[in-house]
Structure 1
Amino acid sequence: MVNKIVNSSKRILRGFVENAPILRDFYYYHWLFPINPNLYRGVFRSFAEASAAVPASNPSGYNYDEIHNLSLNQNFGLDEIGKFKQIDYPILVWLGEIFKDRSTVFDLGGNTGNSYYAYRKYLSYPPAMQWLICDVPAAVKVGNELLKKFSSPGLSYTTNIADAEGFDIFITCGTLQYLESSLSELLSQLQSKPQHLIINHVPFYNGEEYVTLQNLLIVDSVNKTQIASYTPYKIQNRTNFIDSIEKLGYELADNWQQNRTCYIPFEPKRFVDAYHGFYFRLKIQPLHKIT
């Protein structure tokens, strides 16, 4: 009986807080953010400024064994490692079309191989396909261990984005928000640009670009502990992003949205109401007439 009264009181109090904007923001900023994953706080002009706001006692970033070792520590099979996510459906559609005449894939932020293993359940990979994943060293280390456990034709790993040189298809899902450099800056470094860009699950809005902090909440499955990793997280202007890619010679062939928001306490004008995906293809350059 006492527990029912306590739980009921908590629900009433939480409902009151959630419906009072100032109290709600204090609640999210000071109480929920430190103990929950995928919450955000603060608005910063740069990654350096955001990083300076991370408490000294907290790690920052994705390059930690605890994040990527889960599949090894729990002896996951391919069904768990390559679990297909509905947000990836547009990628599946466009890859199936592109694979008809292209077969090299550079996967920026592909983690330990999740997409490679998930998509092959639904797509017929070209026989001579190359799929190169670029990620942080901790993810690459685990990915190479998985190559020893599972048949993975054409799959390899790198930590160097310059290795995208010469690849036909460039994929990135849920990664651009963690990179200080813009995608256009990264692509500009390549001598030969990929023919196809598939970008998915990135937060955009219509205001000025800014950086916030996200709590990743690293779970250490071995020691049964949780560590809050506060990581710079970039929110871009959608129109400016599209313009920057088109200036490189690409045309926007498709775009879509996913139902996810990004709420920054005390910053209502910075609210992100959806995450976005795009498919760009390199324009065919007209042949010059010989006169």
Structure 2
Amino acid sequence: MKSIIKQIPFARQFHRYIKEQEYKRKFATNCYGCFWGIFETFEEARQAAPQTKSIGYDNTELAQEYQEMLEHGNWESSGRMIASYDYPVLFWLKSIINHENTNIFDFGGNVGIHFYTYSKYIKYPETLKWTVCDLPEIIRVGKQIAEKRHINSLFFTSNFEDANNKDIFIASGSIQYVENLATQISKIRKPKHLLINRLPIYNGRLFVTLQNGGKVFYPQYVFNKTEFIEAITSIGYELIDIWEDNVDSCMIPFHPESSVPAYSGLYFQLRF
């Protein structure tokens, strides 16, 4: 009987509405890594977000979490080890880093996670200068960790403009949270190499969705693959490599046509 009722158009719509409301209640609480909704802009996504968490990454609770990990000495055991999606970045980074090519800008690099984990696989040159760009609360803790470890080659900033004149630009899982990367890079002296990882790209239209990040909600873009690549190549870069990230995905309930089952990584080199 229930299956027959679901075939009635109004009943199908009502059944979907009930399911959507049930999922939204789940999304509003402990649904870490879940996605919800299709929106045109970040502001539209923010307005639609449940009131159960704050919005955005510049969050005192997140920074405090890293601080506690530092104070209790369990940073190494926190599970923040290298993942399968890091290997293509390591492959290219190892081939392009050298004594004349040692200024790295790590956009969205958190408290220096890539700097620490990649050092287990790459011997950094003594002349290395690795700059992490992130939000103020996060880099505050990053500086404390670097000071405690007596790291002199790791620097922190909240200004994208500090990517100016850097040799290598790394962005892992961060580009989807910002407006128009190509436009921002075109305003500075362009880095020679772009290593962009953990990127949600697919063959559909550009849109914004909302992610449950545990303590906070994040609005994020999902990019059209062709448009994203063309935007970068149009400012003077050549696409050298593209790979699939089978760890990250963006599965949006009730919107299978907009879901991304696997993220991507891309390596661009500046044409000379």
1-structure distance, mates of 2:28, 2:88: 31
Q: Conserved in 2, the CA contact under 8 Å of 1:202 and 1:275?
A: yes
Equivalent of residue 278 in structure 1, options 241, 254, 266:
266
Please show how residues 1-291 of structure 1 align to structure 2 within 5 Å.
22=16, 27-32=22-27, 34-74=29-69, 75-77=72-74, 79-80=76-77, 83-100=81-98, 101-179=100-178, 181-190=179-188, 192-218=189-215, 229-259=216-246, 260-284=248-272
2-structure distance, mates of 1:178, 1:76: 30
Closer, same or farther in 2 for the Cα pair 1:31/1:70, shift >3 Å? closer
1:79 match: secondary structure: coil
1:225-270 deviation digits (Å, cap 9, x = unpaired): xxxx222111000110000000011001111011132111221211
Percent identity between matched residues is 36
Q: Conserved in 1, the CA contact under 8 Å of 2:85 and 2:198?
A: yes
Task: For 2:214, give the aligned amino acid.
Answer: L
2-structure distance, mates of 1:77, 1:155: 20
2-structure distance, mates of 1:233, 1:209: 11
1-structure distance, mates of 2:75, 2:51: 37
Q: Conserved in 2, the CA contact under 8 Å of 1:107 and 1:132?
A: yes
Q: Conserved in 1, the CA contact under 8 Å of 2:171 and 2:196?
A: yes
TM-score by length of 2: 0.87
Deviation at 1:154, TM superposition (A): 1.1
1:166-189 deviation digits (Å, cap 9, x = unpaired): 10100000001111x121011011
Q: Conserved in 2, the CA contact under 8 Å of 1:29 and 1:265?
A: no
1:112-150 deviation digits (Å, cap 9, x = unpaired): 011001111110111111100000001110011112211
Q: Conserved in 2, the CA contact under 8 Å of 1:59 and 1:230?
A: yes
Range with greater deviation from structure 2 (24-33 or 144-153): 24-33
Q: Conserved in 2, the CA contact under 8 Å of 1:26 and 1:265?
A: no
Task: For 1:54, give the aligned amino acid.
Answer: A
1:256 match: secondary structure: strand
Q: Over aligned residue pairs, what C-alpha RMSD do you find?
A: 1.9
Task: For 2:144, give the aligned amino acid.
Answer: E
Q: Conserved in 1, the CA contact under 8 Å of 2:27 and 2:36?
A: no
> How many residues matched?
252
Q: Conserved in 2, the CA contact under 8 Å of 1:33 and 1:40?
A: no
2:29 match: secondary structure: helix
Uncovered stretches (5+) of structure 2, i.e. residues with no partner: 1-14
Deviation at 1:26, TM superposition (A): 5.4
1-structure distance, mates of 2:76, 2:26: 36
Range with greater deviation from structure 2 (64-73 or 138-147): 64-73
2-structure distance, mates of 1:127, 1:24: 57
Deviation at 1:68, TM superposition (A): 2.7
Q: Conserved in 2, the CA contact under 8 Å of 1:78 and 1:117?
A: no
User: Runs of at least 4 residues of structure 1 off by over 6 A?
Assistant: none
1-structure distance, mates of 2:221, 2:269: 24
Deviation at 1:214, TM superposition (A): 0.6
1:203-235 deviation digits (Å, cap 9, x = unpaired): 1111110001111112xxxxxxxxxx2221110
